[in-house]
Chain A
């Protein structure tokens, strides 16, 4: 760890960290709002659906950032992981609108876990240009 003398994070890397962090914060609110709603707080419903819009929007933004990371840093992983998360969130969005709770609940837990794992992944090591890091 100390051998690699402070490798410089590029702006693309920092942007990915920022977007993934925002994504994690937004998605953490969703079960909270769902809990409010299901215990009878009607405001929880609008918060949960507004939250769904925010989470999916951040997801799509993250896809764009991940593409930039892929192009600039030659790292495909963030893009692949983000695509999986965004696909799950899209299904999740419509499962919620549809009232398909058998899918909405477990998939919701899964997507929260996936975003948290991604959050850990982007923060635990610097995103460097592929090749530069391995050199």
Chain B
């Protein structure tokens, strides 16, 4: 051994070995401790026995009838009220509902034919109605401080969660009592929208308690395509929940009255996940189908849970999920998936062909991101042979906007990440928590912009008023499921997404925010002023 060296070869070997051991231990622990696949949120555990899967029939929410028609517009009435539901067989669950049901009634409408929905608030808290994906004037877009107060609760306008607690208030808020008319021009591409509560600081628990419903827009061009229709078109609102021992919905709110103190208990800051998967309000339901094509209009109405859906037959073979539409309507051409990721608030319009499945066969819809009971979503039982004259045309639409980067008048960057707000944990956009009194983005009506969004953990980012197209993901081309016109884009941990849109439709104050409902309540919203 050379004596002149400070460290002998044996020592070098020892040091090298120790470093190697440290590296191996570190990587093994990372593999063992990290969530693979990654999941943002923490799961609640139900305290009641859960039913076996694929026993409860799939409900389809009733279509609401208009109470009147005047001047080419339809008028609807919805009462927001407490109601009891039997979601789990034999268990009574008190809920907050639209018209007494969960999901709320479905509104069917035609492109360009305005709809006015008169909401009456009989709940114990203020509410706000937002039509997600609607091209709606700002006054009816459900800004979080535009409260609809319950009767005799005028003092609530002075009590708006962290806004008032911290000496901020919103001088532009338009507060009404008992009833409020929301008018939706629906001058937009036909698609599946959904309406839900959007109250400042308490959106997540309000949706969790049941304030969500579907709103479908159709037009003649879509009707003429020959897609599966009638009983072969099914809306599927997927949402996870957890149940307390008394049958109520469990939720880790800091303020169980959902009036003053926003936020959830610390372990759930990243998002609240349930251990029961509901589709249209039923746990792991089953639906009898013909051996034919079905159009499934899928909405992820969960607060924080992401899904990767696949349709698996009894022999383990996966059916094609033929995507025909995105959040904001039909794609240009179908895109075939075997595995379809869906983030909170995203919608996918998908055709599945059951004709190759043997009669009596069960097709399970499975969530690849789930584990244990949350791996199952629902099932289809193929009951009978049937004629099928539906088709999936090669060209679905020709009206998708073709914005190019060169059209953009400006580029904006936004980081979506964890941070501190008002001395507590929160979620920030561009380093700031939401403040109704601060305008974050001002743009001119008609301007085309490119937005570059960067995430630390999962953040499904939603823009009100407009649809956008995905230009890139982490500097690479968009993924197959990014096709078409979207209003919510799912950012995965460490991911950057570039989107392009044109701010048209209406002037006024709108929002963009993370649609992880817990993040949204804990600061992750920002104002978008269109002038």
List residues of chain A with CB within 8 A of the CB of B23. 110, 113-114
* Contact status B27-A99, CB under 8 Å: no
Give Cα A62 to B2, complex, Å.
26
Of the candidates A38, A42, A110, A125, the one whose C-beta lies within 8 Å of that of B27 is A110
Given A99-B493, A101-B493, A106-B27, CB of A42 within 8 Å of CB of B452: yes
List residues of chain B with CB within 8 A of the CB of A38. 415, 417, 454, 456, 494
> How distant is B271 from chain A, measured CB to nearest CB, in Å?
17
List residues of chain A with CB within 8 A of the CB of B417. 38-40
Give Cα A129 to B413, complex, Å.
55
Asked if B439 CB lies within 8 Å of chain A CBs, one says no
* Contact status B19-A107, CB under 8 Å: no
* Contact status A40-B454, CB under 8 Å: yes
Give Cα A106 to B452, complex, Å.
27
In the complex, number of A-B residue pairs with CB atoms less than 8 Å apart: 77
Q: Which of A26-41 contact B (CB under 8 A)?
A: 37-41
* Contact status B30-A99, CB under 8 Å: no
Give Cα A38 to B417, complex, Å.
8
Number of interface residues of B (CB under 8 A): 34
Given A45-B496, A124-B6, CB of A102 within 8 Å of CB of B413: no
| Interface residue stretch chosen among B34-42, B224-232, B276-284, B460-468 | B34-42
Q: List 25 A-B contacts (CB under 8 A).
A: A1-B5, A1-B6, A3-B3, A37-B496, A38-B415, A39-B415, A40-B413, A40-B415, A40-B430, A45-B496, A49-B475, A81-B16, A99-B494, A101-B493, A101-B494, A102-B30, A102-B31, A103-B30, A103-B31, A110-B27, A114-B19, A121-B12, A124-B6, A133-B2, A134-B2
Closest 5 CB pairs of A and B: A40-B415, A102-B34, A110-B23, A106-B30, A42-B452
B contact residues vs A (CB 8 Å cutoff): 2-6, 12, 15-16, 19, 23, 26-27, 30-31, 34-36, 38, 413-415, 417, 430-431, 452, 454, 456, 474-475, 492-496
A contact residues vs B (CB 8 Å cutoff): 1-4, 37-42, 45-46, 49, 81, 99-107, 109-110, 113-114, 117, 121, 124-125, 133-134
